[in-house]
């Protein structure tokens, strides 16, 4: 499938099974996988449809869906070892979706030999499609995106509530992200925030946005100054920033102010 075809796939699936349930979920259509970790019938149905289409186009690829992994944790190992794979997050920001917030997204990423080569983020309520191809740039609805410039005092957001209000060096206090990676990373490349901090990473959450940021000219790495590995669920954390200087400043600031919290 070419890149536009996969964008259309995500849009069509959202229109079919996600958007009709927005602010219309019945009580029995929402469940907890773990305390506070919600899943809906829309998550399950969307993932099945997207996964089937990707398997049909690429029979040899391992498709790592968030909900399939919850049912079969061994899928993570098969995905990590695969020469060709896809991640699928059918409703990123499920809690936002359940509570009626438009800040949710449908995401996918393609990996070849452990490297993300294409990624897609579709925000159905905002009608924005963010697409990245390795070496070919980052795009929003057909318009090329470039991260930065970064202000003198970079603005940071974090998904870890314990870090909200902390300062990294002389930077302004950290504020909370939009509670959806499919919203957070686009805000970074659009210039609404200068860096993002995550305590952990999951392939379906972070692989799409990491390529988007990198192709827009930003920098992505771990909190420990290592390379981000999209094949594994990691507790090394992540810094995504509009440029390399901001990445290093944020990472170094975290090392001094937040380590161990």
User: So what's the pLDDT on residue 116?
Assistant: 98
User: So what's the pLDDT on residue 261?
Assistant: 66
Mapped onto helix, strand or coil, the DSSP state of residue 33 is strand
For 188, what's the count of Cα atoms within 13 Å in the CB-facing half-sphere?
36
Phi-psi region of 82 (alpha: psi -120 to 50; beta: other; left: phi over 0): beta
User: So what's the pLDDT on residue 90?
Assistant: 97
| Beta bridge partners of residue 115, listed in sequence order | 112
User: So what's the pLDDT on residue 32?
Assistant: 76
C-alpha–C-alpha distance, residues 9 and 232, integer Å? 25
pLDDT in tens, 16-46: 999 999 999 888 888 877 766 778 899 999 9
The CA-based angle 128-80-112, given to 5 degrees, is 60
| Positions in the chain short of pLDDT 50 | none
User: So what's the pLDDT on residue 31?
Assistant: 84
Contact present, 196 and 156 (Cβ < 8 Å) = yes
Give the C-alpha distances (Å, rounded to integers) separating 121 from 138, 155, 225. 11, 23, 26
Mapped onto helix, strand or coil, the DSSP state of residue 110 is strand
Q: Using a cut of 0.75, tell me whether the model's pTM lies above it.
A: yes
């Amino acid at each position: 499938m070419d890149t536009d075809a996969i964008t259309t796939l995500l849009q069509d699936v959202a229109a079919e099974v996600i958007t009709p349930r927005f602010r219309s979920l019945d009580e029995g259509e929402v469940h907890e996988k773990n305390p506070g970790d919600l899943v809906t019938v829309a998550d399950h149905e969307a993932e099945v449809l997207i996964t089937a289409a990707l398997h049909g186009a690429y029979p040899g690829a391992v498709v790592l869906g968030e909900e399939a992994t919850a049912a079969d944790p061994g899928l993570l190992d098969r995905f990590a070892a695969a020469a060709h794979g896809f991640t699928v997050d059918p409703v990123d920001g499920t809690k936002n979706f359940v509570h009626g917030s438009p800040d949710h997204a449908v995401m996918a990423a393609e990996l070849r030999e452990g490297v993300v080569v294409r990624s897609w983020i579709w925000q159905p309520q905002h009608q924005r499609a963010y697409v990245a191809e390795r070496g070919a740039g980052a795009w929003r609805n057909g318009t090329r995106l470039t991260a930065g410039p970064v202000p003198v005092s970079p603005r940071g957001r974090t998904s870890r509530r314990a870090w909200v209000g902390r300062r990294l060096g002389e930077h302004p206090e950290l504020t909370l992200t939009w509670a959806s990676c499919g919203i957070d990373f686009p805000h970074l490349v659009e210039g609404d925030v200068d860096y993002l901090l995550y305590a952990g990473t999951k392939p379906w959450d972070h692989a799409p946005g990491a390529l988007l940021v990198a192709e827009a000219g930003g920098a992505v790495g771990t909190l420990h100054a290592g390379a981000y590995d999209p094949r594994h669920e990691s507790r090394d954390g992540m810094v995504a920033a509009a440029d390399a200087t901001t990445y290093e400043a944020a990472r170094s600031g975290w090392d001094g102010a937040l380590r161990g919290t």
